[in-house]
Amino acid sequence: MVDMLQLSNIAKTFTMHVQQGARIPVFDDLNLTLAAGDCMVLSGASGQGKSTILRLAYGNYKCQSGQVLVRHDGDWVDLVRATPRQVMDIRRHTIGYVSQFLRVVPRVPTLDIVAEPLRLRGVDADVAAAQAANLLKRLNVPEQLWPLSPLTFSGGEQQRVNIARGFIAGFPVMLLDEPTASLDADNRRVVIELIQEARDAGAAILGIFHDTEVREAVATGSFDVAAARIAA
pLDDT of residue 161: 96
Please say whether the beta carbons of 68 and 54 come within 8 A.
no
Kindly state the DSSP code that residue 71 receives in the 8-state scheme.
Answer: E
pLDDT tens digit sequence for 142-167: 999 999 999 989 999 999 999 999 99
Q: Residue 169: which residues within 8 A CB-CB, separation 6 or more?
A: 96, 117, 118, 121
Residue of 89, 70, 96 lying closest to 170 (CA atoms): 96
Give percent of the chain with pLDDT exceeding 90: 76
CA gap 195, 98 in Å, rounded = 12
Alpha helices (runs of H) in 80-123, residue ranges in sequence order: 84-93, 110-119
pLDDT tens digit sequence for 70-119: 999 999 999 999 999 999 999 999 999 998 888 887 889 999 999 999 99
List, in sequence order, every residue forming a beta bridge with 5; answer none if it has no partner.
Answer: 34, 70
Please say whether the beta carbons of 194 and 137 come within 8 A.
no
Total-model pTM: 0.92
Please say whether the beta carbons of 215 and 12 come within 8 A.
no
